[in-house]
Every structure is written in C-alpha cells, then in structure tokens.
Structure 1
Amino acid sequence: MKKLFVFAILALLMVSVFAFKAIMVTDTGGLGDKSFNDGTWAGIKRAAEELGIETKVIQSYEQADYISNLTKAAQEIQKEPDGGIVYAVGFMMTDALFEVAQQFPDVYFAGIDIAPPTDVVPPNVISFLFKEQESAFLVGYVAAATTRTGKVGFIGGIPIPPVERFRYGFEAGVKVYNELHGTNVTILKGYANSFSDPKKGKDLALAQFAEGADVIFHASGAVGNGVIEAAKEKMVSLVGSEDMAKIIEYAFENGGFFAMGVDVDQDYMAPGVVLASAMKGVDTASYYGVIWAYNGEWTPGIHTLGLAENGVRLSPMKYTKGLISNRTVAELEYLVYLIKQGILVVPNTEEALKSFRVPNIVFPF
C-alpha cells in the first residue's frame, strides 16, 4: 500500500513537472461560430490530444477584452512548469497581441490571420497568414458555373484584409469563368460590419436573393450562419421539404438558392444548400503552432499558407458535387494546378484585382 502511494505521488509530480498548456483567446465571434474560432480550436485540441497537454479557451465579448484576456492567458502560461502557448484569433487582435507579447518574452504567442505591424517580429511570436484569395477563387468559379440567374452574391463581415482577400479571389474566379465560357455573371456585394450577428447576415442574404442572386458566398464568421439559414429557408420553400434527396433532385432540375461557406467545411450545415466552402487551414496552423512550441521547433515570423501548402482548399462538396458538371470539376483541378505552379496568380489586393487579366488558359481536355 505504501509503495502504491509513493508511485501515485511520483506520477502527480511527473505531470506537474512537465505541464504544458495551450490557451486560445477568441475574437468576439467566439466558440460555436462554426467557422474561424471553431476551426482554430479544433487544431489546438488535436495537438493537445496527441501530446497529452492541457487546453483552455478564453472568450472575448468585445474588442476591449483582447488585451486583458491575452494578459490573463500569458500569466497562466507563466505558472506552468513547462510553459505553453497563447493563441490570438483574428486580425482585430493584432495590436493587442504584439503589445502583450512584448511584456511576456518567455511565453510563446501565435496569431491567426495576424500580420506583424512592423518588419521586426518578436522571437516569441509566430504569425499565420493565408492566401484566402486562392480558395475563394475556386468557389467563385463554382458559383459562376452553377448560377442560373447570372447573378451571385458576396457578404463580408468587417472589410479587414483577410475578408477582402476572400472577396478578391471570389471576384477573380467569376471573372475567369466569364471569360473562358463567354458568360456575364455579375456580383452583388454587402457587408455586415460584424462577425457575430447572424440576423444581419440573414437579412443581407434575403436582400441579395430578392435582387436576383441565387448563390451567395459569405466571409463573415458567425454572421454567415444567417446567410446559410436564409438560403435553406428559401430552398425549402421551393422544394416543400427539408429532405436532402428531394433538395438535390429539385436543384439538379431547376436550380434554387445556395450559400457558400468559409474557413471550415460548412457544407454539413445545410446539406444540398451549402454548395461549397472556401476552406483555410486554421486548424492546420493552430495544430503546428502547438507542436512546434512543445517540441522546441519554434521558428518565429510569418508563415503564409496557400493551395501549394495545403493551407487553403475547396471543400469536397460531399452533398452537392452532383450539381456540378464533370467538365467543371475537371477545370477546377486544372486551375488548382495552374495556381500551385504560379501560372495563374490570384489577386490579393484591390489594385491587383482591378488590373487582373485572365491569362491564356487552354484546358488539356
């Protein structure tokens, strides 16, 4: 009995000696957004399960919470015998992250969608950025190939750089489809000026549907839940049923109303109604940040992930691929190849979008 007691004490000591923690500070969208925050958290949890480490989420309810929440997280990490890592999620946390990181040089920090404000990146900070425009290009191409009204929509949250890169890519995808196929698909655009107001997303989507759009891509965090809800309501009203098989059958024959998801694979949120999702690997980024910090493989600075790095991608379209022609699927594969090879460069700024010219693309089939 005494030996068992000693072993138990030693086991507890071993856990405490090698304790390492990963803490995520959300933006105002919070967990449950089925998008950006949830995707980042999924990567952290996957790493934590592999490493056997502790995790925690600190919710931000308003932007004024960012500095205090990041400070609280860093203070918790400092108490851990083996340290840990703090995640700041979202562009809006840029200033707060770099202010707090300088105050805690012995704590690792990772920023998702956060670019350093200067060329000098503190040695305890990693920034993960994404070529959102590349996955958005693909959903833009799909939207243009699918629309039956010749009008599609884009709804953004707040027009910050990552959201705008989604828009640039979406517009470029529609433009390339138009030029290659001789169509004239047009785009409606709107912004919720929020990432946490699904009602605003729904209202914007219903307004765009009323103006003639039949496919709407959102890049708006939890606001997009309302966009998807609006598309589902409109489609169910047409079909007279929520049954996925009936929705798919109707859509194949007649078209309908569709949403397009963002950040993670949101196709499951309304099977048959969410046409595709422009995914970015926030889960991949958050996973590797934890692994690198834990294993001592830390490389500070900016890590930018695109199609070539599997940092962004198109969702598998598990429910809706049958609504896309085989020809379009093959074209998408070839366009991905061109982007990865640097032959097709998707614009990532407003200026690049305005000057974007479709290269000479000849499909080899």
Structure 2
Amino acid sequence: MRNFGKLIFGLVLVTVFFGSSLFAFKAIMVTDTGGLGDKSFNDGTWAGIKKAASELKIEAKVIVSNEQTDYIPNLSKAAEEVMREKDGGIVFAVGFLLKDALEKVARQYPSVYFGAIDFTLDQPLPNVIGFLFKEHEGTFFVGYVAAAMTLTGSVGFIGGMRIPPVERYRIGYEAGVKAYSQLRGKKVQVVVGYTNEFSDPKKGKELALAQYSQGVDVILAAAGASGLGIFEAAKERSEAVAGKGYENIKKAALAKKRLYYAIGGDMDQDYIVPGLILTSALKRVDVASYLGVKWAYTGEFKGGTVFLGLKEDAVGWSEMKYTKDIILSRAPWVLNDMNYLKELIVSGKIVIPDNDNDLKVFNVSSVKLPK
C-alpha cells in the first residue's frame, strides 16, 4: 500500500461518476492507511465498487485514511454524505484495522448501510455486513508451489501484522508446504517474519533480504504495500545472478540456477516483476465489495457475515502468465496436483486448517495423487 502523504485534512477524496441515474445513491470506500495504489487490498476493493457503480450508474467515492486516527472521522464523514442522498448508499470500511472505528460509527448511523471488508462485528448490527475470506484455502496452493520450487528447502512468509486475515494467509501457506512434503517426500521448512506495517516497502525489502540471506529462496508477501519491497528484493538478488529483464530471468530459471522468488497476495501481482513472482494468492475482495454495493442498491442487504472461499471462487491462485513454463520445468506434476487437491477441498474431503492447532495435526499423506 502506498501512503499519499500527510495532507492537511488527513484524507484524499476520489470521486467517480458513472453516468446518470434515476437514483441518488452513493457508494463510499474508506481505506486503511495504505490508501489507493497498493496494487493489493485497497485497489481490489475499489475495483469491485467501480464495477458495481458502472453497472448501476451510481456515484462511487474513496476517502483515503493517512493515519489510524482518521478512521472514525472518515467513516463518519462518509455516513453523513450517504444520509444526504435521496436513496442512500453504502459505506465500506476496508481492512481489519478499521474494526473498532466501525463498531462505534455504525451504531451512530443506524440508517446507513456499512460493508466491512476482512472483518465482522463482535456484536452484529442489522446495518453492517461483514465479508470474511477463507484465505487459508487459497494460500494452501501457493505454499504447494513454493515447496515445489525451492532449491534450498527453505521458503519464507512475510506478513504485515499478526491479525486474523494475515494469520490465515500464513497457516494456509504452511499447510500447502506441509502437504507437498507429505505427498512428494521433500522436506521444506518455513521461515516467518512480520513487517508490522502494511505501507512500508522499505521494511518489506529489508526483511526479505534478511530471509534470502538465511537460505530462503521463495517468499509469500502478505503485507500489503510493504510487499512491494519484497518484490524489489527478489528482483535485486535475482538480477545479480541472471541479468536484467524477463528473458534473462526465464533463461536462468530454466537452467535451474538459484534465483530468488516471491509470491504475490490478494490480487494478481505476477506482472510487477515478471518471472520472479511465481504466482499470487488471489483474494477476491472485489467480489465482496461488488456484492455489497449491489445488495444495498437493490434492497437485498442483510446484516451479518458472509464467508467467501474456494467454493465461491473468491480465493485461489493466479494464472502464472510469466512463470508456468518455469514451474513446470522443475515440477511438471504440480498443476495437476493442485487441481486434484482443489476438487478434494471443494467437496469437503480435505479441510485446510485455519488455526495453528489444526495445522499441527494436518495430514494428507493418505491422498493418492493422480499419475
């Protein structure tokens, strides 16, 4: 996530109009401190809102928070704006860190619809819908890829903060590594670290370089815009081996030279450093925000919690546009394995752990992979 600076009023407004509408309805998104431009969580949520706004021909707007102290005033400002619309609207609070703020603001504006992205309220309110994701079901597969690709037997995980969504990212990733070890007989360890920031690429890069120096050669970035620094570290270390540019990277990878890879998170980030971001753990926050706008607009909105996972096609992995040949050259079976395991998970025959206790006993060694 990229911070847009300390502005006088502590917020940035982005308003987009999508044609004329018979309804005076507004969808407003309040970001966390990462703001727009993170190529991840906030951008994904905004994409879903824009899609719904375009289809429904309504107004969409972003209020960017620069500090955590902005959350309550920004949510309140958004709610006041929605209340002035003849047909109302919906306000989105994007990210777990806005939970406490939304708890307070939603009670003060009971006639306003709110969408909570990545969290739900401890005490449900009829005007708040919380969207939670089964991140672990998606990161399971990128963990499987990481285990298949490592030459050192050591892969890394770098999270932003130890909050529930990030921990589900980690647990699913470790489960995927564990599954590969059990099914393909390759011992792989996971090195875990946190930037404690979602908007500091410098910290992400420093931690990634430290892990690479410890023998890690693949890192999952689950740190918002801090992850952009992880990608930069992968590029810097790999270009020192292979030379600059995608063609040189691919040539070195196919020659099985030791390169330094990353894995993206939330959106398809493979394009950011082609050939070095093996895949991305997709988390379709755009699906959640799109549905939230649509339900509020059509009157189908119901307070409570919606869970989105593999079965709903809300998590998964990217198409590997730049790396599929590289991955298959090292582990030609890996995509077939993943698709087969996906069937077992969707059908309920395999349950991916979402907590450390279940991770400890997770075992898929009895699964018979197709030949």
Indicate the residue corresponding to 1:343 in structure 2.
349
Amino acid paired to 2:345: I
Shift in CA distance, 16/153, structure 1 to aligned 2, threshold 3 Å = closer
Indicate the residue corresponding to 2:250 in structure 1.
248
Amino acid paired to 2:360: K
Whether the 8 Å contact between 1:24 and 1:87 is mirrored in structure 2 is yes
- Tell me if 1:144 matches 2:143: no
Indicate the residue corresponding to 2:199 in structure 1.
196
- Tell me if 1:107 matches 2:121: no
Give the TM-score taking structure 2 as reference length. Answer: 0.92
**Secondary structure of 1:307 counterpart:** coil
**Secondary structure of 2:311 counterpart:** helix
- Tell me if 1:81 matches 2:86: yes
Whether the 8 Å contact between 2:264 and 2:270 is mirrored in structure 1 is yes
Q: For residues 175 and 267 of structure 1, what CA distance do their matches in structure 2 show? A: 24
Q: For residues 167 and 126 of structure 1, what CA distance do their matches in structure 2 show? A: 25
Q: CA deviation at 1:308?
A: 0.4
Q: For residues 360 and 73 of structure 2, what CA distance do their matches in structure 1 show? A: 40
Higher helix share: 1
**1:202-217 equivalences in 2 (<5 Å):** 202-217=205-220
Q: CA deviation at 1:355?
A: 2.6
- Tell me if 1:363 matches 2:369: yes
**Secondary structure of 1:313 counterpart:** strand
Tell me which of 151, 158, 161 is aligned to 1:158: 161
Amino acid paired to 1:337: E
Whether the 8 Å contact between 1:17 and 1:82 is mirrored in structure 2 is no
**Secondary structure of 2:316 counterpart:** strand
**1:8-27 equivalences in 2 (<5 Å):** 18-27=23-32
Whether the 8 Å contact between 1:16 and 1:81 is mirrored in structure 2 is no
Give the TM-score taking structure 1 as reference length. Answer: 0.93
Q: Which runs of 5+ in 1 are unaligned?
A: 1-13
Indicate the residue corresponding to 1:11 in structure 2.
none
Whether the 8 Å contact between 1:143 and 1:174 is mirrored in structure 2 is yes
Q: For residues 268 and 19 of structure 1, what CA distance do their matches in structure 2 show? A: 38
Q: For residues 241 and 95 of structure 1, what CA distance do their matches in structure 2 show? A: 46
Whether the 8 Å contact between 2:129 and 2:304 is mirrored in structure 1 is yes
| Structure 1 residue ranges (4+ consecutive) displaced by more than 6 angstroms after TM superposition | none
Whether the 8 Å contact between 1:344 and 1:359 is mirrored in structure 2 is no
**Secondary structure of 1:222 counterpart:** helix
Q: CA deviation at 1:354?
A: 2.1
The structure having more radius of gyration, on CA atoms, is 1
Q: CA deviation at 1:17?
A: 6.1
Q: Number of residue pairs matched? A: 349
Indicate the residue corresponding to 1:173 in structure 2.
176
Amino acid paired to 1:252: L
Q: For residues 123 and 76 of structure 1, what CA distance do their matches in structure 2 show? A: 20
- Tell me if 1:218 matches 2:221: yes
Q: CA deviation at 1:40?
A: 0.3
Q: For residues 330 and 43 of structure 1, what CA distance do their matches in structure 2 show? A: 31
Indicate the residue corresponding to 2:95 in structure 1.
90
Amino acid paired to 2:90: I
- Tell me if 1:334 matches 2:337: no
Whether the 8 Å contact between 1:130 and 1:304 is mirrored in structure 2 is yes
Deviation per residue, 1:4-35 (Å, 9 max, x gap): xxxxxxxxxx9586211110000011111111
- Tell me if 1:310 matches 2:313: yes
Indicate the residue corresponding to 2:275 in structure 1.
272
